[in-house]
Amino acid sequence: MNGYSNNGFTQSLNGILSLTDGLETTIENGTITTGNITGSDITGDNIAGDTITGATFRGTTVELSGNLTVDQDLSVDGLSNFNDVTDTSSLLSTSSMIINGGLIIKTNLYATDVMTNNIVSGNIGCGNLNSSNNITCVKLKCNSIDCNSMTTNDLFYKGKICCNINLGISPYLSIPLSTSIYDTSTEITNFNLQTYLINSNNNSLFIQPYYSIMFYNNSHLLQIINNSSGTNMLYSLINFNQNIACTKIIIQYKNINI
C-alpha cells in the first residue's frame, strides 16, 4: 500500500471517510471511536478537543489540575483526603473543603475526632449534640437544660418574685426579692436592709416553690429557708443562729444561684 511502512501510515489521510483496524478502533468522518484503550501511561504534548465523552472512566488514580463538576451523584467508596488550601475570605486560616451550598450527611458516619476547631456563622441543626469536652457559644437557646451541675457568673430568671421579706418592726415593709443581694446595705436604692435583718426583729419570709433563701453574715451562714422541693408557698420566721446582722442574701432556684 502506498505510504505504508513498518512504522505505520505516512501518507496523508485526506479524503478517507472510514478506516478501521478490525479491533474496535475506527476513524470515520474525522471522529475516532474505540472499544478500550489500555496502557501504563497515555501521554502527549496536546490532546486536542474540548470534551472527552464516555459512559465510564476507570483508573487507579485520577489527577485534575482544574475544577471538577459533577452533575449527578458522586460516590466515594474509600477514604477522602483533602489538602489544606488558603482562603483569605474565610474565617479560618486554612480550609480543606469549602461547600458553598448545603451538606447532608446520612447515617453511619463514624469518627473518633470530629470538629476539633470549627467556626459556624449561621445555624447548626441536629437531633442530639454530644460532646466529651466543652461547648462554648455567645448565646444558648433551648427549651430545657438537664445537667448535674451548673456554674454561672450571672443568671436572671425573668424577674420572677421568689420571696417576700416581711420586716417585724417599723416601717413593717414587705420587700419582694427576685435576685440575690450581695450587700444588704447598698443594693436596695434608698434603703438599708441590713439594719433590719437581725435576729431580734421578728422578721418573716414568704417563699415560692422551688426556691431556697440563704442568709449570710459575710461568709458565715446564718439560716437556710428551703422550699426547693415544695409545691406551695412557704411561710417561715427568720431566725439566725446568732444575733448579728445579715450582710448578704443568696437565692437559689432548683439549686441554681440567681
Give the residue extent of every domain in the chain: 4-33, 163-257
Residue whose C-alpha is closest to residue 168's, from 132, 130, 197, 211: 197
Q: Work out the pLDDT band at 199, boundaries 50, 70, 90.
A: confident
Does residue 9 have a pLDDT over 60?
no
Span 120-168, pLDDT tens digits: 667 777 777 777 777 777 777 788 878 777 777 666 555 689 999 999 9
The pLDDT of residue 167: 95
Query: For residue 64, which amino acid is it?
Result: L
* Mean pLDDT across 24-34: 71
Q: 95 or 59: whose pLDDT is higher?
A: 59
Residue whose C-alpha is closest to residue 62's, from 71, 74, 73, 49: 74
Kindly report the backbone phi and psi dihedral angles of residue 20, in degrees, each rounded to the nearest multiple of 5, phi listed first. Answer: -135, 150
The pLDDT of residue 43: 58
Does residue 68 have a pLDDT over 80?
no
Does residue 185 have a pLDDT over 80?
yes
Cell of 52: 472527552
Span 103-121, pLDDT tens digits: 666 655 554 445 556 666 6
Range of lowest pLDDT (119-133, 162-176, 224-238): 119-133
Residue whose C-alpha is closest to residue 213's, from 228, 202, 201: 228
Separation between Cα atoms, residue 97 and residue 188, nearest integer Å: 56
